[in-house]
């Protein structure tokens, strides 16, 4: 069995950005238009009027202040209210592959690895642009990486599940290294007409390089993976029913359940203890204490949730430098959130410091990775 290191991470951030104030202005305009068009039915009690949103409500409910997006104009256009992306020919890079390649190149540069030494590519994300060929194989081709590639989806936990998948392959000796990529155009599955969730997601891509660890191959700012732990438990409280069989059930085409929807209160109540208990038990089985942690890079879905998880794990409130937040700037970026936090803040760790990368979400799914800084 071989030791495994995370030798580099990469990040792609879209150029366009939407503030809470801009999003609310668009949403409230849509509410006014809807209520005016449907005023007769509203007055007759047949349907309920829509309620307006506010930047204050969004920040209090989630901690989100802004989000990066692949297309701003389509989202803010009340006649469209979704990203407007150009149809691409089959000879062009797909949307996910294009942003994934950028994040991958950043990770490759930061890890100082030659593409000839990368044995595999895994794309792990919450929504895949197509069924086949795999986005991972498309990226593999664009980067001229040999070996094999495949896609996987565990919703918001895709990154930690992807890390364990590669960790197990490198540890066993079947490969020496691999790159995992998380391209997320989350705005594509978001219902911007739903007050309870129209503010949640943003777009981004991240990448992580994992390599065999030995004395001759310790990279600058690298992290040994001490252990991984995964958990899934079925729940309908976070769901998206869009899929290839939709056209076979025409009554459901275009319905709101074909976009992201959730029962937020139940998710909060049920996920927080699951995540907290998994982190604590994972630390204990590795003879570690929560007090040993110098970094907690948690899934960036909801600031209130992260605060509570950190408190349950540590037994006290966590300072921002221990459990950094990026969702205020990026919003929820599904699988990429914990990787963004790790990418941006891991350089503050010192040699031999311990940290966790933890993600959680639909499924329910939870993944935790314990790492130690080695250089």
Q: Among residues 156, 186, 197, 358, which one is catalytic?
A: 156
226 forms bridges with which residues in the sheet?
Answer: none
Give yes or no: 358 in active site.
Answer: no
Q: How far apart are CA 250 and CA 241, in angstroms?
A: 13
Buried b (16+ CB within 10 A) or exposed e, 9-32: bbbbbbeeebebeebbebbbebbe
**Which helix (H) or strand (E) covers residue 27, if one does?**
helix 20-37
- Distance CA(149)–CA(139), nearest Å, equals 9
State how far the alpha carbon of 244 is from the alpha carbons of 87, 253, 258, in Å: 19, 11, 11
Quick one: how many helices (H) and strands (E) in the chain?
11, 13
CA separation for the pair 32, 252 (Å, rounded): 27
Q: Which helix (H) or strand (E) holds 267?
A: helix 264-285
Rg, the chain, Cα only: 21
Q: Maximum distance among all alpha carbons in the chain?
A: 76
Question: Which amino acids are annotated catalytic?
Answer: 156
């Amino acid at each position: 069995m071989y030791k495994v290191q995370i030798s580099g991470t990469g990040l792609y951030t879209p150029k366009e950005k939407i503030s809470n104030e801009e999003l609310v202005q668009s949403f409230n305009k849509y509410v006014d238009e809807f209520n005016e068009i449907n005023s007769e039915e509203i007055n007759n009690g047949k349907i309920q009027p829509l309620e307006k949103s506010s930047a204050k409500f969004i920040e209090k409910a989630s901690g989100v202040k802004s989000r990066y997006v692949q297309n701003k104009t389509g989202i803010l256009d009340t006649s469209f209210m979704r990203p407007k992306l150009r149809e691409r020919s089959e000879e062009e890079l797909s949307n996910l592959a294009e942003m994934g390649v950028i994040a991958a190149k950043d990770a490759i540069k930061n890890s100082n690895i030659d593409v000839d030494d990368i044995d595999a590519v895994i794309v792990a994300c919450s929504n895949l642009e197509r069924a086949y060929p795999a986005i991972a194989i498309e990226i593999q081709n664009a980067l001229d990486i040999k070996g094999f590639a495949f896609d996987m989806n565990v919703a918001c936990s895709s990154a930690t599940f992807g890390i364990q998948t590669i960790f197990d392959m490198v540890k066993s000796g079947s490969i020496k290294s691999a790159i995992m990529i998380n391209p997320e155009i989350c705005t594509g599955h978001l219902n911007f007409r739903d007050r309870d969730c129209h503010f949640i997601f943003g777009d981004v891509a991240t990448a992580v390089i994992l390599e065999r660890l030995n004395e001759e191959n310790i990279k600058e700012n690298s992290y040994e993976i001490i252990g991984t732990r995964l958990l899934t438990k079925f729940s309908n409280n976070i769901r998206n029913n869009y899929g290839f069989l939709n056209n076979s059930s025409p009554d459901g085409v275009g319905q709101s359940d074909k976009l992201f929807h959730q029962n937020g209160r139940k998710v909060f109540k049920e996920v927080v203890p699951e995540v907290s208990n998994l982190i604590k038990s994972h630390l204990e089985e590795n003879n570690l204490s929560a007090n040993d942690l110098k970094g907690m890079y948690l899934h960036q879905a909801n600031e209130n949730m992260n605060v509570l998880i950190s408190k349950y794990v540590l037994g006290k409130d966590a300072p921002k430098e221990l459990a950094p937040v990026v969702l205020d700037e990026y919003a929820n970026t599904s699988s990429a959130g914990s990787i963004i936090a790790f990418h941006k803040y891991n350089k503050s760790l010192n040699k031999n410091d311990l940290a966790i990368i933890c993600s959680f979400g639909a499924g329910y799914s939870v993944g935790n990775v314990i790492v130690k800084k080695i250089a």
